[in-house]
A and B are shown apart, each in its own frame.
Chain A
Amino acid sequence: MYRKVWLSLLLVVLSACQTISKQDDSLYLDLGGKVGISKIIDIFIYEIGETEEVVHHFEDTDLDRFREKQIEHLCLLSGGPCVYTGDEMLPVHQGMNISESEFNAITNAMIRALDTAGISIAIRNRLLAIIAAMRADVIYQ
């Protein structure tokens, strides 16, 4: 009986540990924390501006707000201590009809930003896997 209780307690503790390790901030730290992420987003915005096929989506964008929300979002996605105060991915992209090509063009802009910021391939891939998972909420909405 005690053995069973002890085992269930152990299971609870183990699963709690797992939850904690899932929320680890190693990616956030690898991206250089708040300072590193701000730098990445600055280059990212510049790269979007250089990407002819998507720049029209940003014609009416308030760039200061966009920058702030992007930094918050990247911070949160990478496990950093931030609150994202921007819009959810699905509603914000509704009516924009972003194509697969445009999504990939933005992804490429992010890849170039990470490269320019000196982020290693392994760290870049960890972040890209997270970004890729949002695609369904972004394209053809």
Chain B
Amino acid sequence: MKLILSLFFFTIATQISAGGKLIGTSGVTQVEGSAGGGLVPWATLAGYGTRDEQGASAFFSAVTVDDFRMSAYGVAFSYHDRIEASIAHQKFQSDDKSIRLSQNVLGLKIRLFGDLVYTEWPQVALGMQYKNATNLSLIKSIGGEGEHGTDFYLAATKAWLDGPFHHNFVLNTTLRYSKANQLGLQGFGGDKRNRHSWLLESSLGLFINRNWVFGVEYRQKPDNLSALKEDDWKNLFITHLPNKAFSVTAALVDLGQLGGRNDQSGAYLSLQLIY
């Protein structure tokens, strides 16, 4: 992982100009490492590369809720605005340190058709996230089945340059096919349900101007474990993009019941470097 990160910064340092897409049009990086919102993968690809260029991004995100904290970091590359490859690492722990979980996520996304801004129809992409969780014994003890699994998703994202109130809007809808418990950190499938589920995820963002976006996200979750209930996730976010190289996102998150504790809500902070 460290090697990949150093390679990434080396790549950035040796390139002179960034990609040619308009600022804000690559979104940020979601918690599993794919280009998107904070929780939801979008049809956008990492970085600002157009069909003639390459793009890349690196992120670090941290979430702290009542009894738990989570962090994630990773890098993503895109080639000719067509395909995105990403790798991310997630760490999850309870504040009393009795629970420690982690996993790696490898992501692949293909833009099928459309341009976020310039086509009347949305940009549409098909993606997958292969997840490999550690700590199989803990996963077994809570009724989870496997320690690795693959999510598939279809995302449609559209930005309106002159939307309601003459502001720029972005709307994303993602349909995910997954059996991951709490992103996969608690394994894949469980005693209650051991099959993939179709899950709906959505993001809505309003550009206040070119450098500030605020919005909401919703992510439906499966509920595979009888011992640990899993709730849908929601957030209210604000993103600042001072330039095309950097973005920072802050959010209020509501993760519902998590690790057997009720009403886990708190704050999210994410930093992103973009090329």
Contact = CB atoms under 8 A, between A and B. Distances in A.
Main secondary structure on B side of the interface with A: loop
Interface string B156-179: 000011100111100000000000
Contact of B162 (A99, A102, A107, A129): A129
Interface string A99-141: 1111011011001000000000111011011001001100000
Given A100-B51, A101-B20, A104-B21, A128 B167 contact: no
A135 B209 contact: no
Given A122-B166, A126-B162, A132-B117, A100 B52 contact: yes
B20 A105 contact: yes
A35 B67 CA distance: 62
Contacts of B17: 53
Interface string B48-60: 0011110000000
A129 B20 contact: no
A122 B167 contact: yes
A122 B165 contact: yes
Q: Chain A, interface size: which category?
A: 20 to 34
Nearest to A140: B51
A128 B20 contact: no
Given A107-B22, A111-B210, A101 B53 contact: yes
Given A122-B167, A125-B161, A99 B52 contact: yes
B78 to A, nearest CB: 14
Kindly name the residue among A53, A104, A107, A132 whose own CB sees the greatest number of chain B CB atoms within 10 A: A104
A136 B120 CA distance: 12
B125 to A, nearest CB: 17
B9 interface: no
Contacts of B160: 129
A3 B209 CA distance: 51
The 7 closest A-B CB pairs, nearest first, are A101-B20, A122-B166, A129-B162, A100-B50, A129-B161, A125-B162, A125-B166
22 contacts: A99-B52, A100-B21, A100-B50, A100-B51, A100-B52, A101-B19, A101-B20, A101-B50, A101-B52, A102-B20, A104-B20, A104-B22, A104-B50, A105-B20, A107-B22, A121-B209, A125-B162, A125-B166, A125-B167, A128-B161, A128-B162, A135-B118
